[in-house]
């Protein structure tokens, strides 16, 4: 507890955030959170399936817990996410009898009306505390003919769901920063170009997109720092805000690796890479307003159990809430300036 506060070390350049679940707000993890971060985002509790599991039935409890923590402790808060193709309940795309909607002008209207009600109700409740929303999440798909993800949203509305989401969000809270959020923007030049072209066309049409969110789930060896830098530079000329929204760094660089525990030399290598990454972030500070980690400590990372790795160690604090070399790499980076 006598180590420097990470957000204070970085606050002249960025807001520093962490993804949380209600359980993280208690006890030692709650303390760690308040000491080192000045922004939070709910990992699951503001997603459509959590907020409106059935049409017209709103479930506020878990999201309120997180929002109240931000209110009580004067933290910034990101809202995640108004629209996604995952963790969205089926009823959005079904008729009143539970039958899947098929594309038609009527079903399109119905889906857009439901979307509008969802966004208005959710945003109004958290307007006082959420300063930035992921309005749409992961709508780009470089493998399709038009670069858009062919989700149920898209099949029933084309890209109108995106325009509607931003327009309604802007009406509800003209002061909120409204983000289009996606992954692999730092590593896949084709995908980032599609996103760039899309945002450019949308803003030219007057769709109120105010920011591009880069999730940035990276690994210890990939992609290069230069590739990340290219990403911020590309979007800079659109005049939109940019944030890193879901940062973490897997210690693995291939499949079939499983560390338990992670070897010191790997954690040290991770610390060096976090330092390089934050050195670069600082050099981009005029283009980048907030960096949010997807989690805080390795015990609850979403990466454990994924891609054949039983445990992963991507975050600044270990499972005992001790600062890792990753943490010190970020603190060191601040001293270089
Ligand atoms: O709610 C059910 C529960 O009823 C059930 O008993 C339990 C058993 O597995 O699962 C629970 O659902 C889990 C859900 O989180 C809520 O806790 C899902 O299995 C689990 O897959 C889901 O994972 C979340 C994931 O999004 C869903 O794709 C992760 O916690 C969350 O960190 C992750 O976050 C996403 C961002 O929203 C978007 N970008 C990528 C990022 C990482 O995948």
Q: Which atom of ligand 1 is nearest to the CA of 49?
A: 1
Work out the mean pLDDT of the chain and round it to a whole number. Answer: 97
Question: Where would I find the H helices in the chain?
Answer: 6-10, 27-36, 48-51, 61-72, 105-126, 152-157, 160-172, 189-204, 225-236, 264-283, 325-335
Q: Is 302 in the pocket of ligand 1 (CB under 6 A)?
A: yes
C-alpha of residue 50 to centroid of ligand 1, in Å: 11
Q: What is the pLDDT of residues 110-125, one digit of tens each?
A: 999 999 999 999 999 9
Nearest CA to ligand 1 atom 43: 302
Q: What is the pLDDT of residues 34-58, one digit of tens each?
A: 999 999 999 999 999 999 999 999 9
Q: What ipTM is given for this predicted complex?
A: 0.92
pTM score above 0.90? yes
| 138 catalytic residue (yes or no) | yes
Residues ≥6 apart with Cβ < 8 Å to 135: 81, 82, 83, 165, 166, 169, 178, 179, 180, 209
Q: What is the pLDDT of residues 69-102, one digit of tens each?
A: 999 999 999 999 999 999 999 999 999 999 999 9
pLDDT band for 337, please (50, 70, 90 cuts).
Answer: very low
Catalytic: which of 113, 116, 138, 276?
Answer: 138
Residues ≥6 apart with Cβ < 8 Å to 16: 6, 7, 10, 36, 37, 38, 39, 290, 291, 292, 293
Q: Is 307 in the pocket of ligand 1 (CB under 6 A)?
A: no
CA dihedral sign, ordered 201, 203, 204, 206: positive
- Which of 176 and 12 is assigned the larger pLDDT? 176
Q: Which atom of ligand 1 is nearest to the CA of 215?
A: 39
pLDDT surpassing 70 at residue 336: no
C-alpha of residue 45 to centroid of ligand 1, in Å: 10
Q: Residue 256: its pLDDT value, please?
A: 79
**Per-residue pLDDT averaged across 252-277, rounded?**
95
Point out which residues pair with 241 in neighbouring strands.
Answer: 211
Q: Is 49 in the pocket of ligand 1 (CB under 6 A)?
A: no
Nearest CA to ligand 1 atom 22: 44
Q: Which atom of ligand 1 is nearest to the CA of 86?
A: 28
Cα 45 to Cα 185: distance, rounded to the nearest angstrom: 25
C-alpha of residue 44 to centroid of ligand 1, in Å: 7
Q: Is 74 left (phi over 0), alpha (psi -120 to 50) or beta?
A: left
C-alpha of residue 200 to centroid of ligand 1, in Å: 31
> Which mutation among 19, 44, 66 tests ligand 1's pocket best, with the greatest number of atoms within 8 A of CB?
44
Q: Which atom of ligand 1 is nearest to the CA of 294?
A: 32
| 55 catalytic residue (yes or no) | no
Q: Is 301 in the pocket of ligand 1 (CB under 6 A)?
A: no
C-alpha of residue 48 to centroid of ligand 1, in Å: 12
Cα 45 to Cα 234: distance, rounded to the nearest angstrom: 32
C-alpha of residue 243 to centroid of ligand 1, in Å: 22
Q: Is 62 in the pocket of ligand 1 (CB under 6 A)?
A: no
Of the CA atoms within 13 Å of residue 50, those in its CB half-sphere come to: 19
Complete domains list, the chain, with CATH:
6-335 (3.20.20.80)
């Amino acid at each position: 507890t006598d180590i420097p506060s990470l957000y204070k070390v970085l606050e002249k350049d960025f807001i520093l955030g962490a993804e949380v679940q209600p359980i993280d707000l208690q006890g030692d993890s709650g303390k760690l959170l308040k000491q080192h971060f000045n922004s939070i985002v709910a990992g699951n509790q503001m997603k459509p399936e959590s907020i409106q599991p059935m049409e017209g039935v709103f479930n506020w409890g878990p999201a309120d817990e997180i929002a109240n923590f931000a209110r009580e402790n004067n933290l910034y808060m990101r809202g995640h996410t108004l629209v996604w193709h995952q963790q969205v309940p089926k009823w959005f795309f079904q008729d009143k009898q539970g039958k899947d909607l098929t594309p038609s002008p009527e079903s399109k209207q119905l889906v857009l009306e439901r979307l509008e009600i969802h966004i208005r109700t959710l945003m109004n409740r958290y307007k006082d505390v959420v300063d930035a929303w992921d309005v749409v999440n992961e709508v780009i798909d470089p493998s399709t003919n038009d670069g858009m993800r062919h989700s149920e949203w898209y099949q029933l509305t084309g890209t109108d769901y995106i325009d509607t989401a931003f327009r309604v969000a802007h009406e509800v809270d003209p002061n909120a920063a409204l983000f289009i959020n996606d992954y692999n923007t730092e590593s896949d030049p084709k995908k980032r170009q599609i996103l760039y072209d899309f945002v450019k066309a949308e803003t030219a049409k007057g769709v109120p997109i105010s920011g591009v969110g880069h999730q940035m789930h990276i690994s210890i060896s990939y992609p290069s720092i230069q590739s990340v830098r290219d990403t911020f530079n590309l979007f800079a000329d659109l005049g939109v805000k940019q944030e890193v929204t879901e940062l973490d760094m897997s210690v693995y660089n291939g499949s079939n690796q499983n560390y338990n525990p992670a070897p010191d030399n790997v954690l040290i290598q991770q610390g060096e890479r976090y330092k390089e990454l934050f050195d670069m972030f600082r050099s981009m500070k005029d283009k980048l307003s907030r960096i949010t980690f997807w989690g805080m400590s390795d015990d609850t990372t979403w990466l454990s159990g994924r891609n054949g790795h039983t445990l992963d160690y991507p975050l600044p604090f270990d499972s005992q809430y001790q600062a890792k070399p990753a943490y010190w790499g970020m603190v060191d980076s601040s001293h270089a300036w």
